[in-house]
A = this chain, B = another copy of it.
């Protein structure tokens, strides 16, 4: 089993170290602060603040390097990778994929990079919140664009399986468009709804009358703003497309309400879409032959159908 070097020991990185160690892998990593490194070492993990040393060991062991830091912290880290482990096997756990791929191409262009996005999280953060079960049955998106390194693709998929996640292959731009629609846009709409619903300070009638529809519709507006901002601002282009589609639908609905007063088109379409979501089937685990021609096209098609890659013995 390939060794894993995890850069970053927040909720995702810390959970990943625990899950990979549980699966029997050799794991080490880096923390941004001495206090976190001490806490991780106390928990029995090999964590240091010396990024260069961790990367040198990764180059030596031909380990899979996993970047698990926020998008905004990426650039200096990629520069260290380029300096110390320039051709390493590289993946990441950042929630947007085009921006990371662009940064890798710019700052660590010789790495063998295959992007990843384990879609798991809790309201908690930091090393202490880490949980080896965090990824159980979660979708772990693995980039599937033409020309990627198949050997590293295999490494990333096997790491995901060791973390008990499902491997969902997707082109990086399709990933970003999808998460814009089903994660980032919901956060922005929740923010707008919360602001309109709460109204003016001192007029608490509306809040006093609020019930389930408002509570549910605004729940993610309770997320720490810096997390929402990092996620949404890092996916600007795809998010703009999703926002414009929502604005278009909202505007049409506004026009209907003002003219005929009829809302059936909006409400029926929304109901149909929600029913389609509710009837989403369990993903099929589809066997894939990585030696086939056009394997990435096949993988992307599999992901678009809502299916996942069947784990092979490793």
A220→B222 CA distance, assembly (Å): 19
In the bound complex, how far is the Cα of B212 from the Cα of A218, in angstroms? 12
Which residues of chain B are within 8 angstroms of A209 by Cβ–Cβ distance?
A: 119, 139, 141, 168, 175, 178-179, 182-183
- In contact, B213 and A236 (Cβ under 8 angstroms): no
- Asked whether B225 lies within 8 Å of A254 as measured between CB atoms, the reply is no
Contact with B along A211-240 (1 / 0, CB 8 A): 111111111111111001100110010011
8 Å CB contact of A221 from B207, B251, B274? B274
Quick one: which of B208, B213, B219, B223 contacts A139, CB cutoff 8 A? Answer: B208
> Which of A29-37, A44-52, A258-266 makes up part of the contact surface?
A258-266
Complex Cα spacing A242 to B198, Å: 11
What are the residues of chain B within 8 A of A187 when measuring CB–CB? 213, 267
Q: Does B208 lie within 8 Å of A283, measured CB to CB?
A: yes
Closest residue of chain B to A228 (Cβ to Cβ) is: B267
Known: A185-B197, A194-B271, A243-B254. 17 other contacts (CB 8 A): A177-B206, A178-B209, A181-B196, A182-B206, A182-B213, A182-B214, A189-B193, A193-B246, A195-B249, A208-B307, A216-B217, A217-B217, A225-B268, A228-B271, A240-B257, A243-B253, A246-B250
Nearest 10 CB-CB pairings of A with B: A191-B270, A204-B306, A198-B273, A194-B273, A208-B306, A221-B274, A178-B206, A186-B213, A182-B210, A221-B270
Listed by A's residue number, 20 A-B pairs whose Cβ atoms lie within 8 Å are A181-B196, A181-B199, A182-B206, A185-B193, A185-B197, A186-B193, A186-B216, A186-B218, A192-B246, A195-B273, A197-B273, A198-B274, A207-B280, A213-B219, A215-B277, A216-B217, A218-B270, A233-B262, A240-B254, A247-B251
